[in-house]
Amino acid sequence: MPRARSRYAPDRGLTGRMVTTMFLIGLLYVVFVGVLLAALRGSWPIILIITGGLFIAQFWFSDRIAAYGMGAREVTPEQAPELHGTIDRICALADMPKPRVAIADSDVPNAFATGRSEKTALVCATTGLLRRLEPEELEGVLAHEMSHVAHRDVAVMTIASFLGVLAGVITRIALWGGFARSRPGNDPAGILLLLIPLISAVVYAISFLLTRLLSRYRELSADRAAALLTGRPSALASALTKVSGQMARIPTEDLRKAEPYNAFYFMPAFSAKESMGRLFSSHPTLEQRLDQLSRISTDLSR
């Protein structure tokens, strides 16, 4: 018997955006592989094996690689009783299985969730976050992260990012000369081969924009779902304000290490106010998030 859905508020907007993103990413993938097959007709078995293998590896191992890269280590209830207790309360509220619980030894105050499904999910908090937040604030942050698992947008983001990664790899290989073959200038295949770096770059850019647009909405959706589940939007707003303020006090070196994983984090880490990452952030602005939580708080008080 399939398990009933969790008590997290469903988000049709998020579901619609995930379906649209996956459709467009799939369409891009078909076009991209088709171009490769047309340009490298004699190598089509190798292309299919490589792209298929990369897709499987991205789907099955990307969450583990990300968790490892962010320094997550699983902890038992005896090692982290308060953290496990908070997760247990959220699971009871949401009526969902308990994920694996982890801690990352980092002073950057943050949290993240990974996993292809509820069975493989992992929720992690940094030591910097645990040290700075009050219990109700921590509950709001972890409820936010677990909503990503309940809504399955973590898995969608993992799959959606694959094409961008593949296109980026192909672009770099082409620029390094991997596709630089001597072909007559009037050979259509040769012309198509020369266009591969350009096509790869365009595919990467479109994939990047699609995943960023989805990522920003899913963060607002997670804030909304967590606030409605816990009934304390003010606690989540307090956590957002506190974490945002504390980021400015974190050493630049630590922020630079965390910056590549911003798409996973509760709050993005930027090494400088002028960082280009802010222009293409995976998260909405703090003002947008606080404004939404304020509206939810007003609705709940009526």
- Largest distance between two CA atoms of the chain: 74
- Encoded amino acid at 302, one letter: R
pTM given for the model: 0.81
- For residue 182, what pLDDT band results from cuts at 50, 70 and 90? very low
Residue 212, C-beta contacts closer than 8 angstroms, at least 6 positions apart: 280, 281, 282
Question: What's the pLDDT at 2?
Answer: 42
Instruction: Specify which residues 114 forms β-bridges with.
Output: 122
- Annotated binding-site positions for Zn(2+): 144, 148, 219
Q: Percent of the chain having pLDDT more than 70? A: 76
Percent of the chain with pLDDT over 90: 42
Can you tell me the mean pLDDT for 96-104?
95
Which residue in 118, 136, 137, 145 is the catalytic one?
Answer: 145
Task: Assess contact for 83 and 75: CB atoms under 8 A.
Answer: yes
The mean predicted confidence, pLDDT, of the chain is: 82
Would you say residue 1 has pLDDT above 50? Answer: no
Q: Give 49's Cβ-side CA count (13 Å radius).
A: 4
Q: Is 145 a catalytic residue?
A: yes
pLDDT tens digits for range 3-26: 446 789 889 999 998 888 888 877
Note the pLDDT tens digit of each residue in 237-255: 999 999 999 988 888 888 8
26-46 residue pLDDT tens: 787 777 777 767 666 666 677
CA atoms within 13 A on the CB side of 59: 9
Nearest to 142 by CA among 75, 67, 60, 82: 82
pLDDT tops 50 at residue 205: yes
